Amino acid sequence: MRSSILTMALAVLVAACASTPPEQDPVQIKLNNLDERLGRVERIAGNEAEMSQRLDQVQQSLREMRGRLDELEHNSDALTKQQRDLYADLDKRLAAASAVAGGPGGATSGSGPAAGGAAGAAPTGGGANTAAEGNAGAGGAAAAGGAAAPGAGGNAPSSTEQAVYSQAFDALKAGSYSVAITGFKDFLSTYPASPLAENAQYWLGEAYYVNKDYESAAGAFRAVLKKWPDSRKAPDALLKLGYTQAAQKQYPAARATLNEVMKKYPGSDAARLAAERLKRIPGQPAQSAQPPAPAQ
């Protein structure tokens, strides 16, 4: 009996020892941790290498863009120099022609009709502005208006002035309004006393207007009225100032300006266009018929 009990106890003890898992080796645990850490370091290093490669590509793209920008700036400087050289050459030729013709006076009288013909005649009263009122109509207005005749002083512009003015005016006719704006501004800065200055100032306003820069357009038209109040472009400038104010929704100011056109220039095309524009201003009170033209 005792032997049986002892046998059973030994069997239970053996079974318990067999079911207890062996303890893990501490060295193996540390090796496993090191393997995991090494794997993470390798992944981080790989990501950093990829980021470094992408950064190198971005820097290379920036260097290429800077090189192209430098090339464009160089080409622009070269073009500007060529234009200056051309204008200087034109001035020299004009001076030489004046000397051959017997002095500046003879050359001026001889070149006056040619310059005036090249300049053309701008219609008074804004006939050309009907097309220019719409954004796409500035080219038509420019084609109709042309490079307007010399100002009230009667002096003919020099060939250089005419060339610079025509370049800006051609850009306006072609619909390159930003180029035209830059050209007219440069012309006015370089030749403020030119007989074409009042026309350049007016067409600068037109270019701003069709480009929907109404604030700058209003300033340009006001400059015409301030500097050349009695010029041929004054009626058109006052009319287009009213258009600009209406486009800015400054309706009371637009009404006052357009009524001023009708009052100052009765019977003119500008007055007729002002009366038509007044009818389209929101909240416009009923207008009486346009004042009749004064008796001749």
| Residue (of 243, 281, 288) closest to 266 by Cα position | 288
Task: Evaluate if residue 109 carries a pLDDT over 90.
Answer: no
The answer to whether position 125 is within a domain reads yes
pLDDT of residue 71: 62
Inter-helix orientation angle 138-145/197-210, to 10°: 160
Residues of the domain holding 140 = 118-279
Task: Evaluate if residue 206 carries a pLDDT over 60.
Answer: yes
Task: Evaluate if residue 129 carries a pLDDT over 90.
Answer: no
The answer to whether position 25 is within a domain reads no
What does 203-229 look like in DSSP terms, one character per residue? HHHHHHHHTT-HHHHHHHHHHHHHH-T
Domain containing residue 125: CATH number? 1.25.40.10
Q: Does residue 236 contact residue 202 with C-beta atoms inside 8 Å?
A: yes
Give pLDDT tens digits for 208-223: 999 999 999 999 999 9
| 85 or 247: which leads in pLDDT | 247
The answer to whether position 82 is within a domain reads no
pLDDT of residue 222: 96
Residues in CB range of 264: below 8 A, 6 or more apart: 235, 238
pLDDT of residue 52: 77
Residues in CB range of 206: below 8 A, 6 or more apart: 129, 132, 138, 141, 142, 172, 217, 240
Q: Helix, strand, or coil here: 15?
A: helix
- The Cα 16–Cα 253 span in angstroms is 106
Task: Evaluate if residue 138 carries a pLDDT over 70.
Answer: no
Task: Evaluate if residue 185 carries a pLDDT over 70.
Answer: yes
The answer to whether position 66 is within a domain reads no
Q: Which amino acid does the sequence have at 40? A: R
Range 280-288 contact pairs with CB under 8 angstroms and sequence separation of 24 or more: 280/246, 281/246, 281/251, 281/254, 281/255, 282/251, 283/251, 284/251, 284/255
| 109 or 25: which leads in pLDDT | 25
Percent of the chain with pLDDT over 70: 57
The answer to whether position 247 is within a domain reads yes
Q: What number is the average pLDDT over the span 8-13?
A: 67
The answer to whether position 190 is within a domain reads yes
- The Cα 131–Cα 138 span in angstroms is 6
Q: What number is the average pLDDT over the span 62-87?
A: 65
The answer to whether position 71 is within a domain reads no
Query: Domain total for the chain?
Result: 1
The answer to whether position 127 is within a domain reads yes
- With cut-offs at 50, 70 and 90, classify the pLDDT of residue 91: low
127: tokens are 């006939």
Alpha-carbon radius of gyration of the chain? 41
Q: What number is the average pLDDT over the span 36-41?
A: 85
